[in-house]
Structures are given as C-alpha cells and as structure tokens.
A and B are shown apart, each in its own frame.
Chain A
Amino acid sequence: MKARNRELLALIPASLLLTAGFAAIFIQRQNLLSNVSLTYGLLFLALCLGAHIVLRLTLPSADPYLFPLVALLACFGLVMVYRIDDTLARQQAQWFVIGLILFAATIVLLRDYLVLERYRYVIALVSLFLLLLPRVPGIGSQVNGAYLGIHFAGTTFQPAEFAKIGIVVFLASYLRDTRQLLVTAGRRFLGVTLPPLKHFGPLLVVFGAAMLELLVIRDLGSSLMFFGGFLAVLYVATNRLSFPLIGLVLFALGAWLIGTHTPHVHDRILAWQHPFRESLYNRPGGSFQVAQSVFAQADGGLFGRGFGEALIAYPCQIGGHNATCPLLPAAQTDLIYSVITNELGLFGACGLLLVYLLAIERGFRIAMLARDSFSKLLATGLTAVFALQVFVIVGGVTRAIPLTGVTLPFVSYGGSSIMANFVLLALLLLVSDKARRDPL
C-alpha cells in the first residue's frame, strides 16, 4: 500500500477516538448522547483530511505514521481539555486549526528546507530575541516567578516553544559543518577529547546565550529541554560519548549552583523532595501542586475513575464568599497528565506514553533514513527535544524530577505549544519525504 493511503486509513481511528471521547463526556455530563460528538468527530476528520491532502500533494513519500500519531495525540488532548473546560477547548480547537494551517504553510514554503542552513545565524538571533521577549516590560508577564509568556493581540504567547525549533535548526546546521573538525582537531586531555575552541566557540556563544536567557526568564523546564537537545545533537554529530558526558557534568554543576542560590529554583527542588511537608505544602508557590498531582494519580489506580470523574476544583469559602478552589492547579496545562492518570488509570497513562514513544520512534527513524548530515541532525534534534519535553513535564508531575512548567506536546492546552509542535512535525515530514523519495 502506498504511504499516503496508509496515512489516510490511520487517521480514521483517531477521528473515531475523538467522537467516542466527546460522546463519553456528553453522556457523563447530560446523561444523553447528542449527535454533536459525531459532528466534532467529522469536523476533526475533515481537518485532518485537509492536512492529509496537502501531504499527498507535496510530500507523497513522507513517513505515513507520524501524522496520524500526532492527530491521535491532538484529538486526545482536545477531549481532555474539553473535559476540563469547554471554553478552553473551543480555543484549543481554534489553535489546532491555526496549527494545521501553519503546518501546511511550513510544508509548502519550505519544500527545500535545506535553505534553512543558509540562514542559521539569522535563525539563531531571532530565537535568542524571542527568548528574551517575556522579560520586556509592558508585554512580558510573570507567572509563578517565571517569565514564560508575552501578551500579544489579546493572547498569551510563549516564545520558548518556537525558539526551541530555531535553536535546533542552528545546532544542526552548525554541527554539520564542524562535526568532523570537532573530533579530528580536538586535543586529548586526561583521556578525553576536548573540542577545539575555535570551532566550538560560535556554538558555545549562541547556546550559552540561550541558556543564560532561559535563566533570566526562569524557564527551567525549557532550559532542561534545550540542554538535552543540544547534547543529543552533539553526540550524534560527533559520535563521542565524552562530549555529552562533559556537558552533563557541567549541567550538574550549573544545576547545583543555581539550585542552591536561586530561591525560585530552590523552592522547586524542595517541593520535589518533600511535597508532604506541611510548611512547604501551605506556602504559596510551595509543594501544593506537586502533592495534589500525586494524590490525583493515586486515585487513578489501574483503570482510572472514568472519563470526566476527576475532581479538579471544589466549592469553598474565601473571606466569607463562596468561591471555587482549585484542587489541581493548572489542570489543563502542567497537570493534564495527572488528570489523565486519575481518569484513565495507569493503563490509560501508559497508553498515552506509548503513543509518544511510537511518534518518537518514527522521528528517529526519519533521522536514520535521512542521507545528508544536516537532515539527520535536524531530525534527531527535533525528535530529542520533543521526547525531552514529554519527559520534563510527565517526570515533573509524577515526581521523578522537580516540576517545571512545560506543556505536554499536542495534549496540553496552549496555542504556542500546538503551533510550534506542528511546525516541528512539518519539518520532520519534510526531512522524511526527501529521504524516502531520492533514489539511493
């Protein structure tokens, strides 16, 4: 069967899942099965079909499974967000449409994505500029001690989501040129190969600036993602384990320094280590969110409590007034994985992780099939950053690592996240099409 036909067939289960998901929520809420769920399902299928036709026309040989897997994640995300808040889900659906448009635009405009190499420094500078925007007074905004978003045209926009793609493009193109030199011209010191500073310099400058900026905006989750992606691309480019190992040591040192000297970071680490310590639990910005995340998962068990059953907020009194107190703060973004575990149980959560793993596997496969170094490094970097984003947020809410706010790609609510990840997907498919089309 042709690749695109396989893709078309694979989109159907995703649409069915969306239909079933909405139907389940309607039944749970109104105790009636409305045909609206079917309408949503058809709408979703139509949107995916549109994207599919674009792929059919422009990238006929691209990987057939990646888009359906992402569609599955996106539709699952839509259902989950709808279950948490209808209004947010409507916005999320709009972002989904815009994301698809951006996806199509990227594919059409960047048919020859190798031109990106030529603009590597422009891309790097734009990314660095984007990262700094949230600190600009007037448009930047601070949430929980971190400067993550900017206000723009009535919506909040998280530039780090886009910057991650730009930085990966820069890394891939830069390392394509210098990867041989990094290895051959390196000096050996104490049994490890140290890269020559002359060739490593520009890379360090750009990357160092990015890391510094992330520190300035206090976006810990993204810095972890960026650094991991950097090490992954560096490792694949040089095939030297010593490079990422040195990087890890440096990262550990940096993390220790920052962790002990920045109150904001120190709090996160404390909350991770002792979420049930009463003083931390009751402190604003303390461990309440982590503790509640874990409590919500504990109620999930193997099979979960059922769709729409998770308790997210409860009626309470604030200063003598009736109010609604959140039990799971940021349920639609940071803690969406806890809601999923609560409602669908360990099996549901593992199913979601499996879908991510399959998508990541396709990403790495694309990297392996690609024939030129830039394509390989680009696909590797994008996939690694995507995988790390999942690890950072799921690890955070399950208490494997300190909780830092990044979105669960395609599932969490968030316009920037959806759009940026659709661009990421478009780039992967562009690489894939080129790799599978050109005869050897």
Chain B
Amino acid sequence: MNGPIRRLYALVLVLFAVLVYFTSRNAVFDATALRDNALNKRTLLEEQRIHRGSIRADDGTVLARSIKQRGGVYSRRYPTGGLFGHAIGYSFTTLGRAGLERYRNDDLTGKRNELSSVIDQLRGHRQTGDSVTTTLDPQAQRVAYQALAGRKGAVVALDPRTGAVKVMASYPQFDPNALRGPGTYSKLANDNQNRPLVNRATQFGYAPGSTFKVVTATAALDSGRFTPQSTVDGKNGVKISGVPLQNDYNQSFGPIDLATALAKSVNTVYAQVAERLGKQTMKKYMERFGFDSKPQLDYPTDQMSSSGEYLKGKLIPPTSRFVDVGRMGIGQDKLAVTPLQMAQVAAAVANGGKLMKPHMTDRIVDTDGRTVERIKPEVQSTVMKPSTASALTAMMEGVVTSGTGTNAQIQGIRVAGKTGTAETQIGKTINNVWFIAFAPADNPRVAIAVTLEKQPGFGGDVAAPVAKTVMESLLK
C-alpha cells in the first residue's frame, strides 16, 4: 500500500504548491493592482494611523500639523489657512494630496528605505513622520497677498544665491482646512472661471511680454555678438517675419544702444536682435534658463508646467518652423511661461549667471529633532558668464532708475528689474502685466517675478509696485 501513499503525498505537494502560487500572486505579483483597487481602503487607513510630520515656515511658524483623533487616527490642520494653500497643498484621506504635502509624502509619513524600517521595527519604533522645514517666509507671503489685493496673479520670490523659494503666492487662493467641508472641494475644482485650486505660480502659462527681453539680451551679450553699447535701428513698424512690429505708443526710435532699448523696452530693437541671433542661439540660452522643461522645484511634477513655445497646447522647441523668433525675442509669439520660470530668469542674472536649483524644502527633521536631510544649494545650470551677468545687471538697473520700471525703486537699495506687458485683448486695454527684479543689485538677496492677469495698464505701473513691497519685506 506504500505506492499509493507515496502518490498521495505527491498530490499533497501539488496542492501546497497551488497554495504557494496563490499566496505569492496575492502578496507579490498582483499586489500593486490589489493595492490600487478602489475597494481597498487599507493604505488610506494605515496612513491615517501614522503621525504625519509637521510643515514649518523658515521662522518656525507651523504651516501644517496633524491632530490626534479618536481611535489613534490623525487628521491634518493648516494653522495659516489659505496663506500657503498653493505651496503646501493638503493631505486628506478623502481627497488625497497636493503640493509639498504630496511631494514630501514619504518623508512626512516616515517612509524610509527597507533596511532602516526593519531596524526601526526591531527597535520597536512606531512609524512616525519626519517634519519638513521650508524656506518660505510668512511675513513676505502675507505682504505679497496684500499687494495682489484680490487681483488674479502670482508672486514668486527666490533667494538667487541658493534657489530657496521665499514667497509663492497665487490668487485666488484656497484654505486647505475648508476642503474637508461637504461639497467644497468639488465646488472649487469645478470653478473654471477662477480656478482657485490651480497654482498660478507654477502651473499657469502667461505670455511674458517684455520681461523676456532679459533672455534675449543674455543671449545677445553672452554670445559675444552684441554689447550693451551696440546700436540697432529702433524705428516703429520694422518688418519682423514679414509683418510690421509696433513699439509701445507707436514710438519711433533712431539707432539706439541695447541698454537704452532695454530701459525703454523697445520692441523693434530686441526683435531684430533675436532674429539676428537665430533660433539655435535663442534655444541654447532659453534651455540654460530652464525653459522647455519642467522646473526642478521640489513640488509635484503635474502641478508644474514647462515654460516655452506652445502650439495647440503642446510644447514645441524654439527652433520649430512655427516659431516667429523675432516676436519670441520680445516675449510674444506663442510663449507661455510661469512666474516661477521668470523669477529664475531674474535669479540667474542676480547670481552672476549661475542659476540655482529652486527648492522650498530647507531641511527634514526627525521626531528627535535631528536633521535627517538638509537641502544643499545646487547649481542647476551656468547660464552666462559673470561679465555678461554684471553688464545685464547694469542694464536692468537702468530700467528701474530711468526706464519703464521706476515704480520699483526702493529708498537706499539698488534695484534691477524689467517690466512686461502682454496684450491679451486687442486694443491694449486689458493686459497681463509683469515685473521681474532682483535687489540689492550689488549683492542680490532677492529675485522676484510678479504677474497680474487682465489689468488695464502697464507692468511698470501695476506689477512693479507689488514687486517693490515684497522685496522691501524680504530685505528688511
């Protein structure tokens, strides 16, 4: 009878192999699909039990914290309300996550690598999240919102020496605390008129207008083809790509040097410069500034847009045959750029030509107060030679001292800037206005970009005063 017993054991082995197969299917092979199953609330419930780390401003102000609720479950609170709604985002079980909350989720929930979590388990540590201290400045942020004064737009201020984001304001704003209210989220998400949940600082593409002349000027000087003293004919109505181009107020200038042309924002001069430089050179410098790719900010990628030329909603290279390089050189054509990108343009000039990688996380601190990780300043790219940067600085100072940007002057501090006014409707009554700047010009500590939507007037009148007050707050 031993033969059948042996065969019976073989059958049991097969049955157990089936069990191992199904267990491994559930635990490993199909695990991702099972975890993503809409009925599976496990991950959400698990994360609710983790004491998520807090998020702080650079002065220690708590921007987000977790409050313990019944049954060992935590819920998120945002003490500063809507002030940092866009930058910090939110984290709720029912809504998911956005902003820095989403980007830093692994740190905030204490997810480390496999080995250290095994060690933590052995040491009996419960999984608790690390805290994130940001580079954001609540005082200046408040000033920025006051200066926007209920007008749609955005302000981004960076420390050009490190790439640290000091201010990221976008109006309309939203209060993350309110999102948990019934129906609030879907109401805000479906408000296509105001789009309050979209961060205009990183996600909206605006025509940059004349602020883009800084990019063209960089390419002109750094390539060695022009100097600030090079003269170009600035008469009105020069044909660019076969179509006459107008200056503001249809003003006509004679032969004019590049520095004066920047201060007075002469379209025809910079359009001709861009045409002479060509698409290849323009593309090279644009890419060095960070155009044509997503910003390297510590922020969710799908909450940021690439800045550059767009055709039918798609990003196209500046070398494309659809690009009118002359008009692109003065910030028109099909350019759509984010305020963050324009702040980086100012920052690159301010930092002697070296563009620093932008970041809003300063450090990650564990529950014992030890710094787990400090974000070190990193060079994103070398955009231009230091000599180009200092020549450009002088030219941009001219904009503020004697050009279109006099409204940005600060008592006792040298400011370098550039205005921008992009027509959104024919007739020049409604414009997207811009101002980019950095200060102090001799030792820059702030670089800023301000944009306001659909304003009657010019960048120098509407956007420059906003930039001025925010810079004053940051330089105090």
Contacts and interface: CB of A to CB of B under 8 A. Distances in A.
Interface string B249-269: 000000000000000000000
A167 B15 CA distance: 23
Max chain B Cβ within 10 angstroms of own Cβ: one of A237, A295, A384: A295
B124 interface: yes
Q: Which of B1, B30, B34, B124 has the most CB of A within 10 A?
A: B1
Interface in A261-315: 276, 278, 281, 291, 294-303, 306-307, 309, 311, 314-315
Interface stretch (A118-126, A360-368, A410-418): A360-368
A404 interface: no
Contacts of B30: 298
A428 interface: no
Nearest to A29: B124
B19 A394 contact: yes
Question: Is chain A's binding surface mostly helix, strand, loop or mixed?
Answer: helix
A20 B39 CA distance: 36
A27 B121 CA distance: 9
Q: How large is the interface on B (under 10, 10 to 19, 20 to 34, 35 or more residues)?
A: 35 or more
A41 B95 CA distance: 47
B27 A311 contact: no
Contacts of A345: 27
Contacts of B322: none
A306 B118 CA distance: 8
A151 to B, nearest CB: 32
Interface stretch (B6-14, B276-284, B341-349, B428-436): B6-14
B28 A302 contact: yes
Contacts of B31: 297-301
A295 B40 contact: yes
A364 to B, nearest CB: 5
A353 interface: yes
Nearest to B73: A315
B369 interface: no
B124 A281 contact: no
B92 to A, nearest CB: 16
A251 interface: no
Interface stretch (A74-82, A84-92, A192-200, A395-403): A395-403
A384 B8 CA distance: 8
B71 A314 contact: yes
A299 B31 CA distance: 7
4 A-B pairs closest in CB distance: A315-B71, A298-B34, A398-B22, A297-B26
28 contacts: A28-B124, A236-B1, A291-B39, A291-B40, A295-B35, A295-B40, A295-B42, A297-B34, A298-B42, A299-B46, A301-B27, A301-B28, A302-B28, A315-B70, A315-B71, A315-B73, A341-B26, A341-B27, A353-B19, A353-B20, A387-B12, A387-B15, A391-B15, A394-B19, A395-B18, A398-B19, A398-B25, A400-B22
Interface of B: 1-6, 8-9, 12-13, 15-16, 18-28, 30-31, 34-35, 37, 39-43, 45-46, 49, 70-73, 114, 118, 121, 124
